[in-house]
Homo-oligomer: A and B are copies of this chain.
Amino acid sequence: MIVPTPTSGSYQSSPASGWGPPYLLYLGNAPDDLSIKTARGLAFWRPQWCLGQYRLPQCQSRLDLPEMSFAAARAAGANTMVVGIANAGGVMGPQAVRDVVAAIEAGLNIASGLHQRLDAHPEIAAAAARTGRVLFDARRFQHAIAVGNGKPRSGRRLLTVGTDCSVGKMYTTLALEQELRQRGISADFRATGQTGILIAGAGVPIDALVADFISGGAEWVSPARADGGWDLIEGQGSLFHPSFAGVSLGLLHGAQPDALVLCHEPQRPHLRGLPHYPVPDLKLCLEANLYSARLTRPDVIAVGIALNTSKLSRAAAEEACKAAEDALGLPCQDPVTMGVGRIADWLFSCFAS
């Protein structure tokens, strides 16, 4: 069982703009657990940054955090309220807009992982302008980047890839960061999605970039490094997902990974959102990723498999890991329930120098 520790929470780049932890997590009227996955990811991976949660009466989900009003959170030292609720369409309802305005007026900055920009709501934009509070949209990328150039760069990089979307690539990458740091290895999670960006405090929303800049974005988020440490890059999508494979391939090329970890959820009946597409075979999927990755990193290898076994009994989970290990000849673990120690062991035995 992985237990995130304060050491896992160094803040990669303190945003000059002023948003950042400590956080109040806004759950609003979340209809179910899935809709608070951004808040849950923050609370799980960066508990030391999360002071409390804000819930409305109809909220159907909760985190193990104190319930706080905006004023109480501010008084307790909260800097920013994180709006992580992912509703259909990625937009904010009228109640959430009113709450964000009230939080701003209570002195909180606002960070959001939604598709729709915070300042698309005139009331929110006006409240921020009136109070000088900061609005941060994790899906909005404001740095100038170049198209990818594929030039070999120094440093060690590991990328998580998947058989499908939402199979645990972010959790796996963060578990590896924690494991490596606990072993005294310099290692940094490099975020490529909105939840990851809020957890890391930095990153590139890779699927929100203009298409020509996908690999350039991946190069930007994992620049050359010379300290002997590892960049652990959050993967996105799947080479076998017809909606998003272009993002996955550009990320794979730009990341120039030395090592891949393949992420998978057993028993998923079909690709996420596409009942007419089966989940690809693990071995086939891994081979396709290795083949494509060799374009920019000819020596790339696979070092492990991460299974999301949250829907399985412990016995069935261990059996699934064993089966994947036998099929692919690589250590296989569920990062959340089993940790990633054996994957890290194998990584270091492969990159011993």
Is A240 in the interface zone, CB < 8 Å from B?
Answer: yes
- Given A242-B296, A243-B148, A295-B245, do A212 and B208 touch, yes or no (CB 8 Å)? yes
A240 and B147 contacting across the interface, CB-CB below 8 Å: no
Within 8 A of B (CB), among A212-254: 212-216, 239-240, 242-251, 253-254
A243 and B207 contacting across the interface, CB-CB below 8 Å: no
Within 8 A of B (CB), among A243-275: 243-251, 253-254, 273-274
Residues of B within 8 A of A243 (CB): 147-150, 212, 215-216
B253 and A246 contacting across the interface, CB-CB below 8 Å: yes
For A207, A209, A212, A296, the residue with the greatest tally of chain B CB atoms inside 10 Å of its CB is A212
As for how many copies of this chain the complex holds, the number is 2
A213 and B115 CA atoms in complex are apart in Å by 13
A274 and B149 contacting across the interface, CB-CB below 8 Å: yes
B208 and A210 contacting across the interface, CB-CB below 8 Å: yes
Nearest CB of chain B from residue A11's CB, rounded to whole Å: 27
Is A348 in the interface zone, CB < 8 Å from B?
Answer: no
B211 and A246 contacting across the interface, CB-CB below 8 Å: yes
Nearest CB of chain B from residue A187's CB, rounded to whole Å: 25
Residues of B within 8 A of A147 (CB): 243-244
B247 and A242 contacting across the interface, CB-CB below 8 Å: no
A295 and B147 CA atoms in complex are apart in Å by 27
A276 and B211 contacting across the interface, CB-CB below 8 Å: no
A242 and B149 CA atoms in complex are apart in Å by 7
Is A130 in the interface zone, CB < 8 Å from B?
Answer: no
Closest to A214 in B: B246
Sort chain A's interface into a size bin: 35 or more
Residues of B within 8 A of A292 (CB): 245
Is A143 in the interface zone, CB < 8 Å from B?
Answer: no
B211 and A250 contacting across the interface, CB-CB below 8 Å: yes
Q: Given B206, B215, B246, which contacts A250 in the complex, CB threshold below 8 Å?
A: B246
Is A151 in the interface zone, CB < 8 Å from B?
Answer: yes
Residues of B within 8 A of A148 (CB): 242-244
Residues of B within 8 A of A206 (CB): 211
A240 and B211 CA atoms in complex are apart in Å by 16
Nearest CB of chain B from residue A312's CB, rounded to whole Å: 28
Residues of B within 8 A of A152 (CB): 276
A246 and B215 contacting across the interface, CB-CB below 8 Å: yes
Closest to A218 in B: B246
Residues of B within 8 A of A254 (CB): 242
Nearest CB of chain B from residue A212's CB, rounded to whole Å: 4
Nearest CB of chain B from residue A203's CB, rounded to whole Å: 15
B242 and A276 contacting across the interface, CB-CB below 8 Å: no
Residues of B within 8 A of A213 (CB): 211
- Given A245-B249, A246-B214, A249-B245, do A240 and B295 touch, yes or no (CB 8 Å)? yes
- Given A247-B246, A296-B242, do A274 and B150 touch, yes or no (CB 8 Å)? yes
What are 7 inter-chain pairs, A to B, with CB distance below 8 A? A148-B244, A207-B212, A209-B210, A211-B250, A242-B254, A242-B295, A245-B292
Q: A208-B212, A246-B246 are in contact. List 7 more A-B contacts (CB 8 A).
A: A150-B277, A206-B211, A208-B211, A211-B247, A242-B253, A246-B247, A249-B249
Pairs of residues from A and B, 6 with the lowest C-beta to C-beta distance, nearest first: A246-B250, A150-B242, A246-B246, A214-B246, A207-B212, A148-B243
